[in-house]
Structure 1
Amino acid sequence: MREWWRDAVIYQIYPRSFQDDNGDGVGDLNGITRRLEHVAELGADCIWLSPVFVSPQKDMGYDVSDYLDIDPLFGTLADFDALIARAHALGLKVITDQVLSHTSDQHPWFRESRTSRDNPKADWYVWADPLPDGAPPTNWHSHFGGPAWEFEPRRGQYYLHNFLAAQPDLNFHHPEVADAILETCKFWLDRGLDGFRLDTVNYYFHDADLRSNPPAEPKKNQVMSTDLYGMQNNIYNKNRPENLGFLERLRALTDRYDDIMMVGEVGDGPARAIELMGQYTAGTKRLHVCYSFAMLGQDFSAAFFRNCIDGFHKGAPDGHPKWSFSNHDTERHVSRWAAHGVSEDNLARLTCAMLMSFEGTVGIYQGEELGQTETELVYEELTDPPALRFWPGIKGRDGCRTPMVWERDALNAGFSDAKPWLPVKAPQAARAVDAQAPDGILAFYREAIALRKASRPLREGTTHFHDLPEPLLAFERRAGDERMTCVFNLSTEVQTLALTGSTEFAGPQAAALADGTLTLPGNGFAWLTHDEPLTLATTEKTLWEEIS
């Protein structure tokens, strides 16, 4: 039987910003439970919750101080159990973020580890002596700026942190650490959780010999950068081969349960990330699914998307990808790719059509189904550590984390009766759920997801690309004798194709077909069903206005 996750639509919920039910301005579990019908009606198969575990919230929950309890900010274990029960009743699976590479510096494990070099948890984190001149033991950088090492006077040593100094890295070379982490995962599986989204899954192990990274290859026309991390070839502080062994232990744990899915986040450059996605999902002993930031950047061309998809399937024929365009760490894609859009709504429809046509698992970030845009914030409104440190050069992640909007004319667009932790601004409130037109973006997402579920080629089919010039992306999805061709115009200009073969439109489209010519307006797209192969070739452009 085909596993549910292979073609699933996963809806990411950022708990702080989905729905506040207790009136403190921060979203909570009961709020999520109340709004789950919205996700079910959208047609999603699964929700992914960003961290809800006990945390000082230095990095919005990605600094866990207790893996086995819910932070009071979000509710209780009973609230969590009720959320799972309601989701399952609606036909939704539930996965949660598991932040396993590091903890909070307030976690009891670290509080004990930092006290001395000979306590029971002394080696549970990555400790190293200073160099003879007192410098950190390697040249590794933190993602959040500065060295990835923090000095601890009580031990006279440095500890490793790939992110904030308040997020010390666990030492996965120590067998007791891996055992303890697996026990925390088992705790949630025993409560009925359907799987995990594994944060920074390629960061679990570091180089045991603590070798310094070489410099990265300089880029053309490179200017001074605040991204010190990107100035190194980060081969010793992540992506270590030992990772695979731990992933196999994690998979063995999940295989003891029914219908579990693990999706790992690979943080790296596009080419390396696609390679790791393949490695981490190869066979049946590692992760079920992997995704990267490959499609979460500025690149927006037919060649780019083809290289990502084709490169993955050719490099890892038995691996499994997850594709997404937005999440809680990146600028919303409708804003990020705005230069390629005829309008925000046109771009929202095009990108939805693309995503629902990709082979593999796909992800939607809350608000994406409304065509939501990035919120413009001033410095005084920021909460994100990188933004606060590097402003104005880096705007940070707050702009994509502002609250979900439900009722356009309600206080804070229906998110909360109190002042929200991040502001709700007019451009975002205008896209509220209740303000969506009958033929608006929300309706389009529902139609596109329904088409994906109803189409065997879109669910199960292999991908075969047509060779077309920019800005046209086209591929056939093929499942047995069923075929569907998906065509997308990634520009704002009209594009036309000569089409040979018998076909008809499937689902919603932004295109016209007459006398063997397929005409795509700016940001146009089409799903075409056919029994025999189609031939596509570029032609002279025809004005859209002449045939519409």
Structure 2
Amino acid sequence: MTRLTPQAQGPAAGTGTSGPGAAPPAWWTRAVVYQVYPRSFADSDGDGVGDLGGILSRLDHLADLGVDVIWLSPVYPSPQHDNGYDISDYEGIDPLFGTLEDFDALLAEVHARGMKLVMDLVVNHTSDQHPWFQESRSSLTSPKRDWYWWRDARTVTESALPVEPAVPVEPAEEPRPVEPNDWRSAFSGPAWTFDEPTGQFYLHLFAPQQPDLNWENPEVRQAVYAMMNRWLDRGVDGFRMDVINLVSKRLEQVDGGAEASGIGFQTGPRLHEFLHEMHEAVFAGRDSDLITVGEMPGITVEEARLVTDPARRELDMVFQFEHVSLDQGADKFDPRPLDLVALKRSLGRWQEGLADVGWNSLYLDNHDQPRLVSRFGDDGAFRYESATLWAALLHLHRGTPYIYQGEEIGMTNVPFTGIDDFRDIESVNYYRENVDELGRPEEEVLAGLRAMSRDNARTPVQWDASPTAGFTTGVPWIPVSPRSVEVNVEADRASERSVFAFYQRLIDLRHTDSTVALGSFTMLEAEHPRLYAFTREGEGDQLLVVGNVSAEPLDVPLLDGWADEELVLGNVPGDARTTTLAPWEVRVHRRTTTLR
């Protein structure tokens, strides 16, 4: 497996263009990132929760796969209300996962294998147990009061509410506190919680245990930058920044419900200022082998161009959510069948929009999404074919691919039986609000959770066919999928139809093929409901990628002109000269073109 050498790729100054004086392409244009969700990756001490020692014990698996960067989901001290995305100390390691010495040992072994390690940076909010918030809530005059968003309540009395004239109403003895506006939390319920001792509400766009930092306060920003610098000084290679476009808010936006909430806190007026300031305070003048990725729900192509334009010195790339929202109806837990035309339209627009400026992050799986092969593929008879088809389609777009743990062996969704099987705060709160409060049928709500819950991605990695899938010698913190007997690393790597081996070939292509890394992208057959097809064109050759996104054979006339061209990659054995694709078949052909 070819190992990427970032130093040979030149500075991360841009994606590169041809011609005299052009900046060399950034090293991450040829890189592949692997996300580790530590509590579910591997457990080294038998307590049922994954840890740093477990990750260390499985590093050779990632080195064999060929990935260049490991993105580590949070391992900081945390009360674990949101599985570590509620941080109580930015500069330590939670004992659940190990110690700082364990982290240093892991980092050294990652570097020894030629890989990099990226930390998850969660600075839109902290835990309510963080010393900053504890001090902020201690009094109205606390020096850190303005480090978070505190607002006075609106007050109404019951007698002021409209009632039927014939119904007698007793006036309320005391006015009740009402939220400063009606923004909704991402995890159900209001985005404001009343703090009795100080008589004000604090803002939390997620759980009440995750109060939002006030980035308008320069002291907050400087504290964050200092912390980031200390992690880089320790040797980490960059940051994936959680919901970073929410740090600039428009709190003058009042009322209007969830839709207005997005207007109020997504990509606010000072976002670009904050990101540029962060770049200058943390990354400027450092080694160009670092990488910065911003998770940005609701961001537009136009805003992403600005954020990832190298000349603006903000971030290297962003995660956007448009394409993973297309199969959602009334809300996230109202799943709809995949509309392939809509998906192609979305991904094609992002390819086109960031073609000349900026850079795409390529993902379909992560810790916040259900399993790809169950969501967009066929996790039954065609699990191997659909897993490898989506791998090829994604990795051969222009951008940096991200692999989520278990994706490389085609792990599937989990048949959760009832609400007690779920651990994710988002899923549990949704169930309570919809079943306990709104009275929706339990089975209807559970069906949506089974399809879309984040817990699908958070069950333990399936290393072997043993009762706990080789994840732990204890009792797993969340049940192992019953499919681990058939779907596991040991079985897949030994199979002639290995998803792992297919990913290895895709990663090697990105490392070695300049057309895969930097070639232009053209979507074909954009309105076809079953065919996903595109070309990548570089200096001297052209790649055609065609995939049958269905369980029925599909005739593809555009293959007529490619019958005699090299077959670079395919997931179904047979005659590559035929124009008929088998169910879930993907092919990659190469044609040599005239050099310009």
Structure 1 residues 326 and 175 mapped into 2: Cα distance closer, same or farther (>3 Å)? same
1:234 aligns to 2:269 (yes or no):
no
- The counterpart of 2:514, out of the listed 449, 452, 456, is 456
- Residue 395 of structure 2 corresponds to which residue in structure 1? 356
Aligned pairs for 1:529-540 within 5 A? 529-532=590-593
In 1, Cα distance between the equivalents of 2:86 and 2:56? 24
Tell me how far 1:313 sits from its aligned partner: 3.8
Deviation of 1:265 (Å): 0.8
Aligned AA for 1:472? Answer: L
Change in Cα spacing, 1:512 to 1:435, as seen in structure 2 (3 Å) is closer
1:487 is matched with: 546
Distance 1:162 1:386, change over 3 A: same
2:16 corresponding residue in structure 1:
none
Alignment match of 1:13 (pick from 24, 36, 46) = 36
Structure 1 distance, partners of 2:396, 2:546, is 10
Query: Aligned in 2, Cα 1:278/1:304: closer, same or farther, shift over 3 Å?
Result: farther
Check if 1:65 corresponds to 2:115: no
Question: Is 1:442 aligned to 2:500, yes or no?
Answer: yes
Indicate yes or no: 2:480 matched with 1:424.
Answer: yes
Matches within 5 A, 1:77-476: 77-133=100-156, 134-209=177-252, 211-214=253-256, 229=258, 231-232=259-260, 234-252=262-280, 253-258=282-287, 259-268=289-298, 272-284=299-311, 285-297=313-325, 299=327, 300-316=338-354, 317-338=356-377, 343-377=382-416, 378-391=418-431, 392=442, 393=445, 395=449, 396-409=453-466, 411-436=467-492, 437-467=495-525, 469-476=528-535
Moved more, 38-47 or 278-287: 278-287
Change (3 A) 1:262 1:91: same
* CA distance in structure 2 between the aligned counterparts of 1:514 and 1:86, rounded to whole angstroms: 42
CA contact (8 A) 1:206 1:238 kept: yes
Distance, in Å, in 2 between the alignment partners of 1:255 and 1:483 is 37
Q: 1:397 to 1:310 in 2, by over 3 A?
A: closer
Separation in structure 2 between the aligned mates of residue 304 and residue 438 of structure 1, nearest angstrom = 34
Which amino acid is 2:317 matched to? V
Q: Describe the SS at the equivalent of 2:469.
A: helix
Partner Cα separation in structure 1 for residue 389 and residue 187 of structure 2? 34
Compared with structure 1, are the counterparts of its residues 24 and 11 closer, same or farther at alpha carbon in structure 2 (3 Å cutoff)? same
* 1:226-254 per-position Cα deviation (integer Å, ceiling 9, x unaligned): xxx4x546201222021111111222222
1:538 aligns with none
Q: Aligned partner of 2:368: which letter?
A: D
The 1-side partners of 2:339 and 2:565 are apart by: 26
Cα distance between partner residues in 2 of 1:294 and 1:35: 33
Cα distance, 1:65 vs structure 2: 0.5
Deviation at 1:193, TM superposition (A): 0.4
- What is the rounded CA distance, in whole Å, between the counterparts of 1:93 and 1:267 in structure 2? 26
Q: Give me the whole-angstrom Cα distance separating, in 2, the residues matched to 1:60 and 1:451.
A: 35
- Give 1:256 shift: 2.6
Q: CA deviation at 1:426?
A: 2.2
Which SS does the other structure have where 1:158 is aligned?
Answer: strand
Is the alpha carbon distance of 1:248 and 1:348 closer, same or farther for their aligned partners in structure 2, counting shifts above 3 Å? Answer: same
- C-alpha distance in 1 between matches for 2:576 and 2:155: 76
SS of the counterpart of 2:71?
strand
Which amino acid in structure 1 is aligned with residue 522 of structure 2? H
**How many Å apart are 1:27 and its aligned residue?**
0.6
The residue aligned with 1:541 is: none
Contact 1:405/1:432 (<8 A) preserved: yes
Distance 1:509 1:172, change over 3 A: same
The answer to whether the 8 A contact 2:238-2:290 is kept is: yes
Contact kept? 1:513, 1:519, Cα under 8 Å: no
1:511 Cα deviation from its structure 2 partner:
7.2
Greater mean alpha carbon deviation, residues 255-264 or residues 183-192: 255-264
Tell me the amino acid that sits aligned with residue 588 of structure 2.
Answer: W
Shift of 1:298: 5.2
* SS of residue paired to 1:95: strand
Read off the aligned partner of 1:57 and give its amino acid letter: Q
| Structure 1 residue 509: Cα displacement | 4.0
Deviation of the 1:273 alpha carbon: 4.4
Structure 1 gap segments, 5+ residues each: 216-228, 534-548
Q: CA RMSD in A?
A: 2.0
In 1, Cα distance between equivalents of 2:468 and 2:383:
23
- Higher mean displacement: 151-160 or 301-310: 301-310
Residue 503 (structure 1) aligned with residue 565 (structure 2):
yes
TM-score, normalization: structure 1? Answer: 0.89
Shift of 1:22: 1.3
Contact 1:301 1:490 in 2 (8 A): no
Supply the AA of the counterpart residue of 1:390.
Y
- The whole-number CA distance in structure 1 between the counterparts of 2:523 and 2:36 is 33
For the residue of structure 2 that corresponds to 1:476, the secondary structure is strand
CA offsets per residue over residues 30-54 of structure 1, 9 Å max, x none? 1101101101111111111110001
Offset, 1:184: 1.0
- Return the letter of the residue paired with 1:385: I
Give, in angstroms, the shift of residue 297 of structure 1.
Answer: 4.1
**Alignment check: 8 A CA contact 1:15 1:28 kept:** yes
Query: What per-residue deviation string (whole Å, max 9, x for no partner) do you get for residues 161-213 of structure 1?
Result: 0000000000000110111111111111011101101001111121143x225
* Aligned residue identity for 1:506: V
Q: In 1, distance between residues paired with 2:300 and 2:95? A: 36
Displacement of 1:398 in angstroms is 1.7
AA aligned to 1:95 is: V
Alignment size in residue pairs:
513
Distance 1:206 1:471, change over 3 A: same
Q: Distance in 1 between matches of 2:61 and 2:579?
A: 35
Distance 1:522 1:438, change over 3 A: closer
Q: What is the distance in 1 between the residues matched to 2:103 and 2:254? A: 43
Q: CA separation in 1, counterparts of 2:375 and 2:351?
A: 26
Letter in 2 for 1:212: V
Verify the 8 A CA contact 1:448 1:508 in the aligned structure 2. Answer: no
